[in-house]
Amino acid sequence: MHPNPAARLFTFLNAAASESSAKSIRQIFAKLFEIEGQDTVEFLVHYCKFLQLTVDAETAVRETPGIQNHEKYLEPVRAARAAFRTLQLDSQYQEVVSQFGQVQLARLELVAERLGELGGEEAIPADTLERLLAEVRKLREVVDSDEGLDRQLRLILSRLLQKMEGAIVDYRIVGPEGIRAAYNESIGAVMSNQDLFKKESQSSSVKRWWKTTQEIGTAVGVALKLKELAAPYVHRLLEAMNN
């Protein structure tokens, strides 16, 4: 199935449906989010991303050329959003099944397949995501412990790496747009702090950070079928900084 918001929504809900319906929504979703679930604030942050995915799927249906009968394809997406947005998180999952069961799930799969036929994204390979995630996590440790790096820049890079880590982890739900947003924020930080980056351009931490950021940008560009994410003048600036 070609990656698209409806495909991500189907994959997530299909995995949820394979769990025991006697479990609570919180228990099942926490497992799929790969979090503990006891921290309600953390859980709700992830839950809102899931609800946003239903909005993204609806937008994809509306904006994808070639889909004529929008209402037919929107029906299972809207049903998914309606089933989850008003429920108590500690309710049993079987309460969802009464509103969004196997029939609706099968219809959602058809929507995902149709969107995939008409375009969509290229998948970022799982091994690429794992490698980039490991590098981002390791690099954050390196940056945080680099006492020779300007303190302000160390804080900036640490925050950017933290956001990039979260975006890669959330790829299953948010897709490449989340990573793209984190990448764009990284480029924006360089543009806003040019003097600071120029001063530390020979730092091994900064060079490693930029190399990793470039690799992430390339992966996202391929997924979104974009020639390049950053404007040419940004690349020229960064090349000048590293010379």
- SS3 sequence of 188-237: HHHHHCHHHHHHCCCCHHHHHHHHHHHHHHHHHHHHCCCCCCCCHHHHHH
The pTM of the full predicted model, rounded to 2 decimals, is 0.82
Cα dihedral sign, 113-114-118-119: negative
| pLDDT for position 1 | 54
| Cα angle, residue 168 at apex, residues 59 and 142 outer, rounded to 5° | 150
Mean pLDDT per block of 10 residues along the chain (243 residues) reads 86 92 91 88 92 94 87 93 83 85 93 87 90 97 96 96 95 91 92 90 92 91 71 56 56
Looking at residue 104, its pLDDT comes to 92
pLDDT of residue 85: 81
* CA distances (Å), origin 224, targets 8, 130, 211: 15, 19, 20
- Residue 59's pLDDT is 93
Contact in structure between 51 and 40 (CB atoms under 8 Å): no
The pLDDT value recorded for residue 228 is: 59
pLDDT of residue 236: 58
CA 153/CA 151 separation, integer angstroms: 5
Q: What SS3 class is residue 140?
A: helix
Would you state the pLDDT for residue 38? 86
The whole-angstrom separation of Cα 222 and Cα 225 is: 5
- Map out the domains of the chain as residue ranges: 5-118, 126-241
What per-residue confidence (pLDDT) applies to 149? Answer: 95
Instruction: Tell me the DSSP string of 32-44.
Output: HHTS-S--HHHHH
- Number of Cβ within 10 Å of residue 13's Cβ equals 24
The number of CA neighbours under 13 Å toward the Cβ of 169 is 15
**Which pLDDT score, from 0 to 100, does residue 242 have?**
56
Contact 123, 89 (CB under 8 A): no
